[in-house]
Amino acid sequence: MTESPYDFDVLIVGSGLAGLSAALHLAPTHRVAVLTKRSMSDGSSNWAQGGIAAVLGEGDTFDSHVDDTLVAGAGLSDPAATRFVVEHAPESIAWLRELGVPFSQEAGHLHLTREGGHSARRIVHVTDATGAAVQRTMIEHVRRTPNITLFENHTLVDLVTSKKRGLPVNRCLGLYALDEETDEVLTFRAPHTILATGGAGKVYVYTTNPDTATGDGIAAAWRAGCRVTNMEFIQFHPTCLYHPLVKSFLITEAVRGEGGKLLLPDGTRFMPEHDERAELAPRDIVARAIDFEMKKHGLDCVYLDISHQPPEFIKEHFPTIHARCLELGIDITKQPIPVVPAAHYTCGGIHTDLAGRTDLTGLHAIGETAYTGLHGANRLASNSLVECMVFARSASQDIMATPLPAPPDVPAWDESRVTDADESVVISHNWDELRRFMWDYVGIVRTNKRLERAAHRIRLLQDEIQEFYSAFHISRDLLELRNLVQVADLIVRSAQARHESRGLHFSRDYPEMSADPKPTILTP
């Protein structure tokens, strides 16, 4: 078969920290394509405020970081995966420093802060905008690195597998992607594909995630025959800014790490009544405590107060939050911040091993879209960005050690039997309905009845969306809705399969913890 302009050695879908790290590792030896459905900086990595966890401080140990992760993971973190990430974290920080990431310093050394669930100061950061600083540095390197071709505004449609082509051995051959500038579906071929598409926070009406977090990789991998694991564990960040003019603005965990107190509207502190660690308890406990207090008192929000710290300290450590709140008339040096919990992080995902390999030969998954075993039933703060880098490196090493076969034979996209949509409003209505009932029925606290209602609604939506997908020209909105409904189905099925309460999954029908917990593994 003749070579096409969209033939590469490696296709990487996603331009967050995981995807760009892999691209930079692979570029010296492989021709790499990076596809991202909006601009390079529109993913969740760019929004990460807190920092990156690594054992770098005097007196801190790998064992301590491992133990903290296992405790936060509520008995479901894989010990081998956890130790693998923890022990490779310092070299990941060193690599970022070599690239020029301007981490905050104190007295000539990296400034290490502490966040909830950590027993030591081990969070390296760039004030309160770590993700943005890291992404900015990475993008600069990627744009000037030979062998990396960028495809912005290209949305993943589906993976192409040999099974779909009737071949005996199933492997990933490439993918179809919608070029939004030309409205054309392009065929990309490569012996290796990496999904680094992030999480699925947009399946909920309240989320800290950007609009790109629609579970594209998880849904595509599931359709291609890959297992997914632990999708019931959706982390709700305890503190998202509550304001009518702003959506998705996260108030970093580090505010609580530096002494911030959670208060009711009358100024009463409530976290000590819920956990002896108070504001420094893991996120699942803090989110449930806020949810409990809001429902108990009929509140729209609670308040996070850091105003007892000196104004200079607040402006130095949290300049982004200070500036954004000030724009909205909230001076955090004098006033508490109104906050609510919001969907934040997908702890489950595509089942992978320590090299990022999925069940499908030729397909790797890294970052939030993957389930590596690190997070278990709840992610420990600031373990996500380091997971991105550690598995980007291990997946890249696995690919570099694999001989490159000839370009696979992949058919062009066929849309000869579809027409233009006559009722695009159906997509927006279904999108709104899905996110609202997922928030109401599959949120912080769940019941069997709520999950059954959600499952019923999902089945109706799936039928309607599949009919729409089959009959009409595709659009990014339709693709994202299709993926979100698939992810919602996986979340609900996983939640229904877990007959206990653990970590981020809390069921009123099964309030106790099982004595022998197992991951929830779904097979297509």
Beta strands in 330-397, from DSSP E residues, in sequence order:
337-346, 349-351, 363-365, 370-371
Strands (E), 201-334: 228-229, 234-241, 261-263, 302-305
Residue 373 and residue 77 in contact, taking contact as beta carbons nearer than 8 Å = yes
Sheet with 349-351, strands from edge to edge, namely: 370-371, 349-351, 228-229, 521-522
Enumerate the active-site residues.
283
Computed over its alpha carbons, how large is the radius of gyration of the chain?
Answer: 22
Which pLDDT score is estimated for 49?
Answer: 67
- 238-341 has CATH 3.90.700.10 classification: yes
pLDDT of residue 485: 97
With a cut of 80, say whether residue 390 has pLDDT above it: yes
The shares of helix, strand and coil residues in the chain, as percent rounded to the nearest 5, are 40, 20, 45
Q: What is the pLDDT of residue 137?
A: 94
Q: What's the pLDDT band for 1 if we cut at 50, 70, 90?
A: very low
Return d(Cα 253, Cα 236) in angstroms, integer: 12
Query: What is the model's pLDDT at position 423?
Result: 63
Assign residue 51 a region: left if phi > 0, alpha if psi is -120 to 50, beta otherwise? Answer: left
Average pLDDT over all residues of the chain: 93
Angle between helices 476-497 and 448-471 (to 10 degrees): 150
Mean pLDDT of 269-290: 92
**Residues spanned by CATH 3.50.50.60 within the chain?**
10-232+347-400
pLDDT score at 512 = 97
For residue 163, pLDDT over 90 is answered with no
- pTM here is 0.90
The interaxial angle of helices 384-400 and 79-99, nearest 10 deg, is: 90
pLDDT of 385 higher than 60: yes
pLDDT digit string (tens) for 132-152?
A: 899 999 999 999 999 999 999
Confidence category of residue 5, pLDDT binned at 50, 70, 90: confident
pLDDT in tens, 18-52: 999 999 999 999 999 999 999 887 776 666 667 99
Q: Which two tokens stand for residue 223?
A: 């359709």
Fold topology of 10-232+347-400 = FAD/NAD(P)-binding domain (3.50.50)
Percent of the chain with pLDDT over 90: 77
Question: Are the C-beta atoms of 430 and 481 separated by less than 8 Å?
Answer: yes
Quote the pLDDT of residue 3: 63
Q: What pLDDT score does 48 carry?
A: 64
Question: Tens digit of pLDDT for each residue in 108-125?
Answer: 899 999 888 899 999 999
- Per-residue pLDDT averaged across 82-105, rounded? 96
CB 376 within 8 A of CB 75: yes
**Cross-strand pairs, 175:** 159, 188
Averaged pLDDT, 307-316: 96
pLDDT of residue 490: 98
β-sheet bridge partners, residue 235: 345
As a CATH number, domain 425-511 is 1.20.58.100
Helix (H) / strand (E) element for 123: namely strand 123-124
DSSP, residue by residue, 395-414: HHHHHHTS---PPP--PPP-
**CB burial class (10 A; 0-12, 13-18, 19+) of residue 166?**
exposed
Q: Where in the chain is the domain with CATH 3.90.700.10?
A: 238-341
Q: Which of 64-73, 285-294, 453-462 has the lowest mean pLDDT?
A: 285-294
pLDDT for 253 equals: 83
Task: Give the pLDDT confidence of 486-523 residue by residue, as tens digits.
Answer: 999 999 999 999 999 999 999 999 999 999 999 999 99
Instruction: Give residues with Cβ within 8 angstroms of 57, minimum separation 6.
Output: 112, 120, 121, 122
Q: What is the pLDDT of residues 207-239, one digit of tens each?
A: 888 889 999 999 999 999 999 999 999 999 899
pLDDT for the residue 6? 92
- Distance, CA of 524 to CA of 509 (rounded, Å): 27
Round to whole Å and give the CA distance between 191 and 408. Answer: 7
Burial class (CB in 10 A: 0-12, 13-18, 19+), 161: buried
Q: CATH 1.20.58.100 spans which residues of the chain? A: 425-511
C-alpha 342/C-alpha 205 separation (Å) is: 9
Residue 160 Cα to chain centre, angstroms: 24
Distance CA 16, CA 38 (A): 11
pLDDT for residue 236: 92
Query: Counting beta carbons within 10 angstroms of the beta carbon of residue 181, is it exposed (0 to 12), middle (13 to 18) or buried (19 or more)?
Result: exposed
Helix (H) or strand (E) holding 193: strand 192-195
Residue 472 has what pLDDT?
Answer: 82
Report the SS3 class of residue 168: coil
Q: What angle do CA 221, 225, 231 make, to 5 degrees?
A: 55
The per-type count for the chain, helices as H runs and strands as E runs, is 13, 21
Between the alpha carbon of residue 309 and those of residues 249, 313, 315, 393, the distances in Å are: 22, 7, 10, 40
Residue 2 has pLDDT above 60, yes or no: no
d(CA 237, CA 250): 8
Instruction: Please say if the pLDDT value at position 290 is more than 80.
Output: yes
Write out pLDDT tens, residues 245-267: 887 788 988 899 999 999 999 99
DSSP 24-35: HHHTTTS-EEEE
Q: 14, 369 in Cβ contact below 8 A?
A: yes
- Identity of residue 438: M
